[in-house]
Structure 1
Amino acid sequence: MSDPFYEKIHALYEAQHLPSHDELFKIADRTASVLDAGDESYCPPSRNGKPGSLLDFTKLPELPLVVVPDIHARVYFLLNVLDFVPPAGFLDKSLGGKSVLEALELGAVRIVCVGDALHAEQRARERWLEALQDFENGIFDGKPMREEMEEGLTLLELIMACKCRFPAAFHFLKGNHENITNKYGGGDFPFRKFADEGEMVLRFMRRVYGDDVLHVVSYCEDILPLIAAFPGCVVSHAEPRRAFSRDELINARQSADVVAGLTWTENEGAEQGSVKAIIGELLGAGASGHAVYLAGHRPVPGKYALRQDGLFIQFHNTEMQNVALVSPGKKFDPESDIMPVVDDY
């Protein structure tokens, strides 16, 4: 494929190095401007005048939708999503054989990522433990941590490049890992799993990039949307903890309860009926007969897990490169519509 953007994003991956201070600041600052601009045709403003936290595509022309689960520093996963050629019938028949990236260039598809850009998971467990040893000895940018951040920040650059290139078609929702300053408050909580990942990333960013880069990346995180609605589905990072109203979703950043309730919900931690209520609130009464709610957050052991009478579909598996393909006018079937973007992973 001969396309300058295609070549640019693949060059990011192949370089395998930490972005420079100026590179990261520039792309993050540009992304902040794109997010700040919003688009009221699908992003109703919040009470404070900023773009709201709800993306509502229910009144716009329906397009095929690719939903990407948690990425966690897997640059190759997002590149494989963009290179993926969907099965016949997903894209318009005139686009047969086109990749997702080619369809994006033509305005013929939308992508929604459910969040969690940083912090490699199980595959990097030993690396995190090595980096933790360095961290406890006052070494915040040693070899294992630099390797981790090469992956995470390259992915962040790729996400931001896609958002700037396709502002109305490529969307990245906030997950619980979008908290680069490791703060407590506003629905955010410090993160640790294998090590002290949240604090280790914060110290690395301060040491290597400084507070100006930290500020602009954190600013981007704080204006990311939290939930997206389409005629056939609703998408957020995690299962909604309770039945939030449309107004609460638009103005989510003014309520820690809403932010946490869309990003941190543990399995079996949601009120029964919350999914059906939100589908009805955003898509209309009776929509639960044909629509589903898609999310990631907690890993599932297989292809997907169902809760809330089958309306909630969780499909984040750290060992797979699966996406959900939501076709216009077709009821989503997790068996056939969740699929890998590569055959040999």
Structure 2
Amino acid sequence: MIEVDEVVKSFTLRRRAGLLRRSRTRVDAVDRISFTVAAGEFVGYLGPNGAGKSTTIKMLTGILTPSSGRVRVAGLDPSRQRTALARRVGVVFGQRTTLWWDLPLRDSLTLVRHLYRVERSVHRTRLAELTELLDLGSFLDTPVRQLSLGQRMRGDLAAALVHDPELLVLDEPTIGLDVISKATVRAFLTRLNEEQGTTILLTTHDLGDVERLCRRVMVIDHGRLAYDGSLPELRGALDADRILVVDLARPAPPIEVEGARTVRTDGPRQWLAIPSGGNAAAVVVAVAARHEVEDVSLREPDIEDLITRLYRTGVPVEHSGGRVASDRQQ
């Protein structure tokens, strides 16, 4: 569905260098990135502000032309075949609406139908499906300006899917949403991907979205791909500790057992760090043999901590037969 091969996108910055002179500096917003996304995948595309995420998205959708390299989306060249590509791709920008501000949502979706030249009967069926899946019924006839942020986001998702695209590109789709609205959007996207096979590329700063939705994660930093793989692979590659939380019957000195180290105590509760690859079950058995235990729980490394650590240190990771390394290592 997506092919990106050695793509570079450069910009020229002009700065004042004197009274009448200006200097020019070349900045590579995207620097020799290569990856593929197969049809039906749900991929998270992460990175700090300024890393190159939005630039990549704009090249995939034909808004920007690569300085060098090759981009293909659904077999098309995005910058040269934008009209043909628009019929096969849906795009949602969380901070920008594609709806008409003064029109009821229903009328906005009708205008979108005309833009994509969707047959009336097909649109009627599609709108009924989207209304049910996104729970649009209560505000279809409400002007867009009067919708809450969560309602507007669901309307934008519907607008992006009116023409039943093969690929859905989402840029911060849950930004600013409340817990209930986030849950609604996440459930819809999961269903769209699993039941209809829609390929989804998600960029977000909400790592909760990534944990709940994405089976694969790509991390971009300083214009280069720092990681491409699954979250479990990322945890293993960074040798991140798992945390065993132990509630004892009564307060005790820090627990000492093989295969773990105590990193925190608070009365009868203690936190034990278990290195990546360590045997958590063996640690639990060893603790229970020496102490009276009331409860235990095992916590996986927090994704936010993992991503932060990746930005800071970088780590080469094997994925799908290829090798991807961070900016510092390349």
User: With structure 2 as the length reference, what TM-score do the two structures score?
Assistant: 0.28
Give the structure with the higher percent helix.
Answer: 1
Give the structure with the higher percent strand.
Answer: 2
Structure with the greater relative contact order (CA < 8 A, sep ≥ 6): 1 or 2? 1
User: With structure 1 as the length reference, what TM-score do the two structures score?
Assistant: 0.27
Larger radius of gyration: 2
